[in-house]
Amino acid sequence: MRRVIPRFTTSAPAPRVPAPYSGEALVTLPTEAGMLMIPASDGVIRPYLERNGDWEPEEAALLQQFFRDGLRFLDVGANVGYFSLYVAARCPGAVIHAFEPHPVTSQVLALNAWSCGAAITTHAMALSAGDRIVTLTTAESNLGDTRTSVGAAGTMVAPAAALDEVLPDAVFDLIKIDVQGFESDAIAGMSGMLARSPEAVIVAEYWPAALRERGLDPVAVLRDYEDSGFDVRVQVENDLARRKPRDVVALCDTAGASGQVNLVLTRKR
Q: How far apart are the first and last CA of the chain?
A: 41
Q: Does residue 217 belong to any structural domain of this protein?
A: yes
pLDDT band of 269, cuts 50, 70, 90:
confident
How far is the C-alpha of 205 from the C-alpha of 59, rounded, in Å? 10
pLDDT at 1 over 50: no
Q: Model confidence over 98-144: pLDDT tens digits?
A: 999 999 999 999 999 999 999 999 999 999 998 788 888 776 666 65
DSSP 218-262: HHHHHHHHHHTTEEEEEEETTEEE---HHHHHHHHHTTGGG--EE
What is residue 146's three-state secondary structure? strand
| Segments forming the whole domain that contains residue 88 | 26-267
C-alpha dihedral over 32, 11, 185, 125, to 10 degrees? 80
How far is the C-alpha of 72 from the C-alpha of 233, rounded, in Å? 22
pLDDT at 192 over 50: yes
Q: Does residue 17 belong to any structural domain of this protein?
A: no
Q: Does residue 73 belong to any structural domain of this protein?
A: yes
Q: Does residue 190 belong to any structural domain of this protein?
A: yes
pLDDT at 11 over 60: no
Q: What secondary structure letter does DSSP report for 12?
A: P
Q: Does residue 4 belong to any structural domain of this protein?
A: no
Q: Does residue 122 belong to any structural domain of this protein?
A: yes
Q: Please count the structural domains in the chain.
A: 1
Q: What is the pTM of this model?
A: 0.91
Closest C-alpha among 101, 76, 98 to residue 177: 76
**pLDDT for 146:** 64
How far is the C-alpha of 32 from the C-alpha of 82, rounded, in Å? 9
Percentage, residues of the chain above pLDDT 70: 88
Kindly report the backbone phi and psi dihedral angles of residue 96, in degrees, each rounded to the nearest multiple of 5, phi listed first: -125, 135
pLDDT at 2 over 70: no
pLDDT band of 147, cuts 50, 70, 90:
low
CATH number at residue 147: 3.40.50.150
pLDDT at 197 over 90: yes
Q: Does residue 13 belong to any structural domain of this protein?
A: no
How far is the C-alpha of 234 from the C-alpha of 266, rounded, in Å? 12
C-beta atoms surrounding 135 within 10 Å: 16
Q: Does residue 2 belong to any structural domain of this protein?
A: no
Q: Compute the half-sphere exposure of residue 241: CA atoms within 13 Å on the CB side of its CA.
A: 11
How far is the C-alpha of 101 from the C-alpha of 136, rounded, in Å? 8
